[in-house]
Chains A and B, each alone.
Chain A
């Protein structure tokens, strides 16, 4: 399945990408699975998205948890804790 993945703020700068279309391998069906898939790229991906990093996630523009399901065509986003206001 194909998803759109967005990166924001410090995380965007770390991975050097603001968005990508990604074809996911079978078996990747949750946010946690997608995150592991990206970490497996190694290098900046591993350091930016490692388990120990505080990363917030959204699916289709709604805050979501690691166990949240992702489906083909979804817009997924990874970003640091928010600091507006």
Chain B
């Protein structure tokens, strides 16, 4: 398991190759989040991500531990950046290695949904109208809530 909260960019190919290192792994599912140049109707010049050093890492570790309790997760890498980012920059990588694709897809999506609603990060956008903090979205809470209704291991 590898959990990093860092200012630097990351190399998706290298991270995935590093995960798929042993023969029991039959599937790696990954998600990469990027900075969009338009949000809520405004052009985004830069986006600054703030976090809570210490708690952010612990929160992600907790989320990954929950995923391991629900699906077969043979290995997992989560990298989330902070600091100032520009449109098209990479923000986050979640990559999950499992025996089969079902568990890899589910665990990857679960980790991402929980990360968005439970890991202490905050986005501030610089737009032509000035700087603004991104508001939390109800759709993100709904996405995370879906996992609470499913029984562990359910198809």
Contacts and interface: CB of A to CB of B under 8 A. Distances in A.
B92 A79 contact: no
Interface residues of B, number: 28
A-B pairs, 3 with minimum CB distance: A84-B121, A81-B136, A9-B122
A8 B50 CA distance: 8
Contact of A84 (B49, B58, B135): B49
Contacts, number: 73
Interface string B87-101: 000011000000000
A48 to B, nearest CB: 13
Q: Secondary structure of the B side of the interface?
A: mixed
Contacts of B50: 8-9
Contact of A85 (B55, B91, B124, B135): B91
Interface in B60-114: 80, 91-92, 112
B36 interface: no
Given A8-B50, A9-B50, A9-B133, A82 B55 contact: no
Interface size class of A (residues with CB under 8 A): 10 to 19
Interface of B: 33, 49-52, 54-55, 58-59, 80, 91-92, 112, 115-124, 133-136, 140
Interface in A61-85: 61-63, 77, 79-85
